[in-house]
Structure 1
Amino acid sequence: MNFSRIFVMASNVFQEVIRDRILYIIGFYTLILAAAMRILPEIAASTEGKIFLDFGIALMGVIGLIVSVFVGTGLINKEIEKRTVLVLIAKPISRSEFITGKYFGLSAVLAVLVTTMTVIYLGFLQIAHIPYGIASILIAVLFLFLQISLINAVAISFGSFTSSLLAVILTFAVYLMGNISQDLLKFGRLSQNPGIENLTQALYLILPDLSRLDLKNQAVYGLQALPSAPTLIANAGYGLLYSSMLLAIAILIFSRREF
């Protein structure tokens, strides 16, 4: 792979997505937080701080998920539908560089979105005088970025060989199943049925365990509620490794496609 060509491809994706006014979502996030700040004290006067802390990170995750799914699944199909993929792969750029550049370009957009929303979120916490642990929140946000980057890889993988609509459905399915994969494993063990237990074990091994990258609930209660440092490092490595494997699969599939 030529990293300079990957960088150029990623830069083009970044500029294209930004031009699509994707950053308007930040305004939507700000409005929702402003409304929540006024509504939540009415819901639970004694616990609005904890609720708002959790809500802000959860909303950040929902927005990141929507962007990664809908933009990620369309990155490749849009090039195919416009026939621009023929021009791109005819140039001195390999298909692996094409896929990798698309992934890193959208990941850069997601990084800008998450960073900006985090700054806004912390600003609201300051305005509302809600106590929070900055270190625990930043760690939770970092793992949130790893999670939506993994979903980005899932979206691009499905988008490399299916239609945009089917890729969206499959990516959302992976996200939902990935969040309950540990529960599925426990269910299989409790069922005491060998067939169900084997099925749930297979699903657990195949699907990403997204709960390992979800720290928003722990972040509300500070650093002491987070997993140990070795566990955090292992979970971060898991997310990066899984994303890399998905990209390798997407490259393999896309390399075999004919246009």
Structure 2
Amino acid sequence: MFTALYQIAKNTFRESLREPIFLLVLLSALCMIGLFPVFSMFVFRAQEKLVVDSAMATTMIFGWVIAVLIASYAISREIDNGTALLLLSKPVRRPVFIIAKILGILGAVTVFWFLCAVATLISLRIAADQFRIDMTVMGLYFGAIALSFVLAAVHNYVTRSSFPMTTVLVMTILIPIVAIIAHFLKYESYGEEHPGLALHIIPALVLILYSVWAMASLATALSTRFNLVSNLLICSVLFMVGLMSDYLLGRHTREPWSDTVPAGKATLWISQYRFAPTEMGAVGKWERPEKIDAGEAFVVWSDQKNPSELSVMGAQPEKLWNDRAGWKDNVADLDGPARHLAIYDPETQTWDKRQILDEAATVPPSAKGLDAAYVSYVFRRSNNPPRVPTGGTYVSPYPNGGSFLASTLYAFIPNWQLFWMADALAAKKTIPTSYVVYGGVYVVIMIVFFMLLAIALFWNREVGKQIIV
């Protein structure tokens, strides 16, 4: 089984590289990425952002296109011309056949991504200066592309081998060599020596690879039942919906807000709403969530009903604080659920005390109208800013849970924004290694799901005049 899996995957990989459309799309992407530094001359102090955004978008979109094209060629065409029937008539099971096809296509799109990623690093090196282009590196880059075609043409003439495949393989050697030369090549401008390649963007480029892998797996699964045009249309719709999934579905998904402080290490957020007896029906939005975490503000907690008063702590309360009767600076140190929190403002040197549990109990039984109003607090832990909660009544002062359908669709439809880190790079933020690892786990789960989908769609697919199971 593993021998058949390897052989089919290897042949699919080689056939994908032999497709003229693969070389054509790759050449278009490489030329566009190499020319982006020219357009950076028309922006002021934002040339790196323009090159990074454009190159990453080119890699993602062209990678998606090439994934759909070679997936359709590898599956649909083999079904139409009888190649799939020939393979399945041998002791090759359908799951092995389709999994091998997906692995071979993933290998081909990885080669495409690798060349585009190296080209992006070179393009950033070319655009290092705001006022001029490094023509030396640009000449080496386009010279390597041209030389790849020349060497492939000679090799094709001598050995009669595949010209597109040879060209791609030669590019995988020459373009990285140009990148190494560009990294160590000194380039001085206005007395400042620019560094080598911008290696800090590699995690962002790896995330782009994840998105291309996911789309290639999806396109392969769909190609078992649909032709090229239908496959391209469906993938286009899913691509656009995935880009807008945060807006279309994300704002309607369930977010777990709690009336008590949840345990965990993620960032703690708090939101509040002032409920009045006149609001017996569902209310609108709560206040925008506020970050309550170490480093953002000095916060202390109490689990007592009537905690002691807090004294002034000066401009640096974290240095003077020691746990006092009933108050802790770590909510995990409390014996029971937190009932009060106090936020210290170093500028005014005052405490903002809030009762965050059993707020309704503070309302006197005889209170009426607005005098019977109370403030309700809810908490959530999340490393990303949560949405503003909605819903709740005077009797049940808790936000709505969100839509189950929206949550389900949001979980199943690939969210391509999770792989787009251009904004983080523009803000000079470092992409954590853990995020790249979690992204890899996420895309592996998607690939496995699309493999199972492909097997299910292909299981009873007619590949000739008979159905082979």
TM-score class, shorter: 0.7 to 0.9
CA distance 1:91–1:153, change in 2 (3 Å): same
**Does 203-212 or 108-117 show the bigger shift?**
203-212
Q: Equivalent residue for 2:240?
A: 176
Q: Give distance in 2, aligned partners of 1:47 and 1:215.
A: 16
Residue 215 (str. 1) matches residue 279 (str. 2): no
What is the identity, as a one-letter code, of the residue corresponding to 1:235? Answer: G
Aligned to 1:142: 206
Aligned in 2, Cα 1:110/1:186: closer, same or farther, shift over 3 Å? closer
Number of residue pairs matched by the alignment? 254
State which structure, 1 or 2, has the greater radius of gyration over its C-alpha atoms.
2
Match of 1:27, as an amino acid? L
Q: 1:216 to 1:103 in 2, by over 3 A?
A: farther
More strand by share: 2
- Are 1:68 and 1:148, in contact at CA under 8 Å, matched by a contact in 2? yes
2 CA distance for matches of 1:124 and 1:135? Answer: 12
- Give the TM-score normalised by structure 1: 0.87
Amino-acid identity (%): 19
SS in 1 for 2:91: coil
Letter of the 2:56 partner, please give it.
I
Secondary structure of the equivalent of 1:23? helix
Instruction: Name the SS for the 1:161 alignment partner.
Output: coil
Q: Is the 8 A contact 1:61 1:144 kept in 2?
A: yes
- Find the counterpart in structure 2 of residue 154 from structure 1: 218
**Equivalents in 2 of 1:219, 1:23: separation in Å?**
30
Question: Which residue in 2 is equivalent to 1:10?
Answer: 9
Matched with 2:445 is 241
Structure 1 stretches lacking a partner, 5+ long = none
**Which structure is higher in helix share?**
1
**Would you say 1:202 and 2:378 are equivalent positions?**
no
TM-score by length of 2: 0.50
Q: Hey, what does 2:69 align to over in structure 1?
A: 70
Q: 1:181–1:203: 8 Å Cα contact kept in structure 2?
A: no
| Alpha-carbon distance between aligned partners in 1 of 2:4 and 2:426, rounded to the nearest angstrom | 42
The range that moved more, 148-157 or 161-170, is 161-170
Q: CA deviation at 1:212?
A: 2.1
Amino acid at match of 2:410: Y
Deviation at 1:139, TM superposition (A): 1.0
Name the CA distance, whole Å, in 2 between partners of 1:8 and 1:203: 37
Asked if the contact 2:206/2:436 (under 8 Å) is kept, the reply is no
2:228 paired with 1:164: yes
Instruction: Provide runs of 4+ in structure 1 moved above 6 Å.
Output: none
Provide the residue aligned with 1:121 in structure 2.
Answer: 120
Contact 2:203 2:436 in 1 (8 A): no
Alignment deviations for residues 103-159 of structure 1 (CA, whole Å, 9 cap, x no partner): 111111111111112222212222332678844321111111111111111111111
- Name which of structure 1's ranges 148-157 and 125-134 shifts more when overlaid on structure 2: 125-134
- Distance in 1 (alpha carbons) for counterparts of 2:103 and 2:426: 30
